[in-house]
């Protein structure tokens, strides 16, 4: 019996081979998209705090009014797609251009704070890791029902913070393991 892993069992070091320029989407929102334009830099770190140079980040987000892209398009047409995908570089980072999402409906009469759904794929990750990016300092964070499910001491791992060196830029650190490991959701 052969115990060699098959391609469906491991991502291996081959992730970038399938990620060509035609499959990379760094611009989630074009010039005509309504809302506050932001740049999100993701930095993926392993359990030792070392940058992961070959991970892939996928984003899915609502528009500035809290609506997810629907089949057939939106009022903004091609200006807002709601989806992005990038590989990390040698420093473990990648940057998306988008808009800050609006609050989306929650369960019952509640709303969820502006957030971005994030998936992480890479070598050694057999199933995509799912998390959320929330914006630090957003007043609606206090009432978000999903964020409330996370123990208070772990919530900081879900917050992007303003880049002190560049206006309109945010930094989100994804730690795959270890101290300050990012909260991942079972979806």
pLDDT band at 22 (very low <50, low <70, confident <90, very high): low
**Does a structural domain hold residue 3?**
no
**Does a structural domain hold residue 84?**
yes
- pLDDT at position 8, please? 46
- Closest by CA to 182, choosing from 147, 132, 139, is 132
Residue scoring higher pLDDT (83 or 17): 83
Contact at 8 Å (CB) between 181 and 157? Answer: yes
Number of residues written out for the chain: 187
- Closest by CA to 33, choosing from 96, 97, 95, 99, is 99
**Does a structural domain hold residue 4?**
no
DSSP for 58-121 reads EEEE--TTS----TT--TTGGGB--EEEEE--TTSEEEEEEE----EE-STT-EEPSEEEEEEE
**Does a structural domain hold residue 147?**
yes
Mean pLDDT computed over 142-171? 96
Contact at 8 Å (CB) between 125 and 131? Answer: no
**Does a structural domain hold residue 5?**
no
**Does a structural domain hold residue 183?**
no
- Give SS3 for 124: coil
Q: Which domain holds residue 65?
A: 12-175
What is the pTM for the complete model shown? 0.86
In sequence order, the 6+-apart residues with CB closer than 8 A to the CB of 111 are 66, 103, 104, 105, 140, 143
- DSSP-assigned beta bridge partners for residue 24: none
Q: How many domains does the chain have?
A: 1
- pLDDT at position 71, please? 55
**Does a structural domain hold residue 78?**
yes
**Does a structural domain hold residue 68?**
yes
- pLDDT at position 134, please? 98
CATH number of the domain to which 97 belongs: 2.60.130.10
């Amino acid at each position: 019996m052969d115990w060699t892993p098959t391609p469906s069992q491991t991502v291996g070091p081959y992730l970038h081979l399938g990620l060509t320029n035609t499959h990379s989407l760094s611009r989630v929102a074009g010039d005509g998209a309504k809302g506050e334009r932001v740049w999100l830099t993701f930095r993926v770190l392993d359990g030792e705090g070392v940058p992961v140079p070959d991970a892939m980040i996928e984003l899915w987000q609502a528009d500035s009014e809290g609506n997810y892209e629907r089949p057939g398009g939106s009022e903004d047409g091609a200006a807002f797609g709601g989806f992005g995908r990038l590989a990390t570089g040698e420093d473990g980072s990648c940057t998306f251009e988008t808009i800050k999402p609006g609050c989306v409906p929650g369960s019952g009469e509640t709303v969820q704070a502006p957030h971005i759904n994030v998936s992480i794929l890479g070598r050694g990750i057999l199933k995509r890791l799912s998390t959320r990016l929330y914006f630090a300092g957003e007043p609606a964070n206090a009432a978000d029902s999903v964020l409330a499910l996370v123990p208070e001491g772990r919530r900081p791992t879900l917050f992007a913070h303003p880049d002190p060196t560049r206006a309109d830029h945010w930094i989100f650190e994804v730690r795959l393991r270890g101290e300050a490991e990012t909260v991942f959701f079972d979806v």
